[in-house]
Amino acid sequence: TFSANYDTDDSGERTPTSDVQPTTQTPGLSSGEEYFTDASENSEPNEPQMVDQQMMIDTPKTRELSLSKPTPFNGERFKSKKFLQECILYMGINKDVYDTEPKRIAFILSYMQEGNAVVWKQQFVQNKLNLDTGDIDLPTYKEFIDEFQKAFKPEEEDIDALDKLNML
């Protein structure tokens, strides 16, 4: 809570002064009573001190930009490159949200929702998950991408068909 001091002008109207100070509710005091503290008077020199409420800055939560999200991946090999490109583009635009390797890996895994992609995702997570502790031992982002590309690399006939379509 905050308390404010008021001045009364010649017309009898009350106006707040500029010295608004934070107050804290102390156990044993009723809600109408206020208690002012100075952090330095009751603390040891090296003890952490509470920050004055006026000094606290509330930083805004980072939000994702509203762009088209990647198309869910079903495991079809010829779609793997496009899927990865969509994921990387989306995470790149939202780099403040996907700012760690585990977040990037989790994002890609979350769009592996159908077909062989789900089977691969389940096996990947099962191999990395320690059921006793609940911890997951994720590889680096680069290692994850390498594993993904190895698993879903388009077969030669798919590449030839795509090349022929691109020539049209």
Report pLDDT digits (tens) over 40-55. Answer: 444 455 555 554 455 5
Global confidence as pTM: 0.58
Other CB atoms within 10 A of residue 37 CB: 12
Q: Which two tokens stand for residue 62?
A: 């980072």
pLDDT at 62: 75
Which residues of the chain fall below pLDDT 50? 1-3, 19-26, 29-43, 51-52
Residue ranges of domains in the chain: 1-54, 77-167
For residue 97, give the 3-state DSSP assignment.
coil
Q: Longest C-alpha distance within the chain, in Å?
A: 92
Tell whether the torsion through CA atoms of 122, 125, 130 and 135 is positive or negative.
negative
Q: What is the pLDDT of residues 51-85, one digit of tens each?
A: 445 555 555 677 888 789 999 999 999 999 999 99
Which helix H or strand E contains 104, and what residues bound it?
helix 101-110
Cβ partners under 8 Å of residue 153, min gap 6: 77, 80
Please enumerate, as own/partner, the contacts of 96-104 that have beta carbons within 8 Å and a separation of 24 or more: 96/62, 97/62, 97/63, 97/64, 101/138, 101/140, 101/141, 101/144, 102/138, 104/141
pLDDT at 124: 96
Q: State CA 119 to chain mean position distance.
A: 27
d(CA 163, CA 78): 11
Give the position of tokens 């509203």: 66
